[in-house]
Chain A
């Protein structure tokens, strides 16, 4: 069996979650990857350990990973594959269901475990339940959670790169612009440490108190929905059911009460620290270490203690 992985990338870098998708796909057998756009990414992909072929969609219509042309391309290639896989990020979640519909397949989103070639485990109800499902479709189309599979090593392979012929472009969509947050910090979904803030941070200005601590720890910064809705930080910081799913070694939650939708996004972290004024905050029920108190005193003290 051969699986095709849609390898998503950003600013010339392969996303770490895409490397996790390679690991997941290798459980089926041989792995080919599809890179849309960027030729340097296609070159980098040939070095991924466990990849036996790189398909490069070089045509200009694929430059921005738009769903409509990319799904059409995947459908044109699908005949040679038993599984179509992508990371459950913004690209995979946008493109794969469209391709699945065109293939008359029910996709299996956000897979956290591959039991066998037909059977998959995926969270439902914001991770409050885990469903084991068996697919009767001949071809499987699935997205996998990056946090549930180790990233394939980015080096060690030497797969050939093949340019694929473009498929007919549906010509119904145009890329206009992209606005990415400028940050020197690690990517939220793959950071070793995440420092996260909630409503307790009180304002956009005060949210900055987390930055020196994140700098010390080499951490990414995250936020609860309440903090994003209040305008403290942009939406891409959100951790939770509808935001990013993270599973770092260390997750520090400041002023986050711990709604189930937030817990859905971080409860698989190895160590969780919670700081909250409210002793009854539900976040304490999942935290390994908790401090009841004022985060505006604790954050600077913790930053200083790590000197």
Chain B
């Protein structure tokens, strides 16, 4: 079984995002970019399934600007076998990404797509669900655990009040939550090896996908900042303030 894992290049997890002065978006030039952390978890899961003999090949795909090839190389250093870069504008919308991935499906015929549950830049949490919808496949979103057996995948999902298990017919789409696994660090020899792994470059237009945005950004603003309050010296003082000043207890 072939597994396809889409990966997104985003502003690094540890960088505090800064809104551009003209309010048109968040600054990405000159900012450290990395693989979306949830996508790292997805890559790790696919590589583990290959190591267990469940998967035969792991293909990573990124849809975005030329520099996304660095993200694909990182995924290959973690153990993915080859990569496809689909060139488009930066950070396309989930609907367009899902359509590109559907076109990739027609080309690659994978038995499983594993995606990160959301990208930490636009926080959409939609692409996996949309891809599953377009393909008519089952979806195991917010996965905390997956087991593949007998032509099905059993997914333990993280839901509001606990967990839920669903069984999906393969092929299927799974989206990775935080605790699915702990992704490995790519070793230096594996980083070197990844440079020689194959990477194919395509254009979104060549796949016949309309990438036009449905959501136009009117403006991006900083949220109202909370001001630091006061430090109190004792529990008695805290209780007094909560009772008489904040009137919250």
- Chain A positions within 8 Å of B, measured between CB atoms, are 10, 15, 64, 66-68, 71, 89-91, 93-102, 104-110, 119, 123-137, 170-181, 189, 193, 217, 225, 228-229, 234-236, 241-242, 244, 249-250, 260, 267, 270-273, 284-292, 298, 301-302, 305-306
B residues near A178, Cβ cutoff 8 Å: 159, 162-165
Closest chain B residue to A99 by CB distance?
B133
Of the candidate stretches B54-62, B63-71, B90-98, B193-201, the one touching chain A is: B90-98
How far is A287 from B136 in the complex, measured between Cα atoms in Å?
47
Judge whether B167 is part of the interface by a CB distance below 8 angstroms: yes
Q: A181 and B161 in contact (CB under 8 A), knowing A67-B139, A125-B17, A229-B179? A: yes
Question: When chains A and B are docked, how far (Å) is the Cα of A82 from the Cα of B125?
Answer: 22
Chain B 194-226, CB-CB to A under 8 Å as 1, else 0, gives 000000000000000000011111111111001
B161's nearest neighbour on chain A, judged by CB, is: A180
Q: A90-B160, A174-B167 are in contact. Are A288 and B229 (CB under 8 A)?
A: yes
From A174, A175, A289, A306, give the contact of B229 (CB < 8 A): A289
List 10 interface pairs A-B (beta carbons < 8 Å), by A numbering.
A97-B126, A98-B133, A127-B223, A131-B220, A173-B139, A173-B168, A180-B162, A193-B249, A217-B249, A284-B228
- CB of B43 within 8 Å of the partner chain: no
Q: Give the nearest-CB partner of A134 in chain B.
A: B216
Known: A91-B159, A234-B162, A288-B230. 15 other contacts (CB 8 A): A67-B129, A67-B141, A68-B138, A90-B142, A94-B142, A96-B129, A106-B94, A107-B94, A109-B126, A124-B220, A134-B215, A174-B168, A178-B163, A290-B230, A291-B231
B144: nearest chain-A partner, CB-CB: A235
Of A171, A260, A291, the contact of B232 (CB 8 Å cutoff): A291
Would A286 and B228 count as touching, CB distance under 8 A? Answer: yes
A273 to B242, Cβ gap below 8 A?
A: yes
Q: A129-B26, A131-B217 are in contact. Are A124 and B133 (CB under 8 A)?
A: no
Which A-B residue pairs are the 8 nearest by beta carbons?
A101-B130, A288-B229, A101-B133, A106-B214, A97-B129, A97-B126, A172-B138, A176-B165
Q: How far is the CA of A225 from the CA of B159 in the complex (A)?
A: 16
B19, B123, B131: the one contacting A123 at CB < 8 Å is B123
Among A124, A193, A236, A292, chain B packs the most CB atoms within 10 A around the CB of A124
Task: Pick the residue among B164, B229, B233, B235 that contacts A177 (CB under 8 A).
Answer: B164
| Contact of B16 with A260 in the complex, beta carbons under 8 Å | yes
State the CA gap A66–B157 with chains docked (Å). Answer: 12
**B120 at the binding interface (Cβ < 8 Å):** yes
Query: B139, A250: Cβ atoms under 8 Å?
Result: no
Residue among B123, B226, B236 with most chain A CB within 10 A: B123
Complex Cα gap A142–B179 (Å)? 27
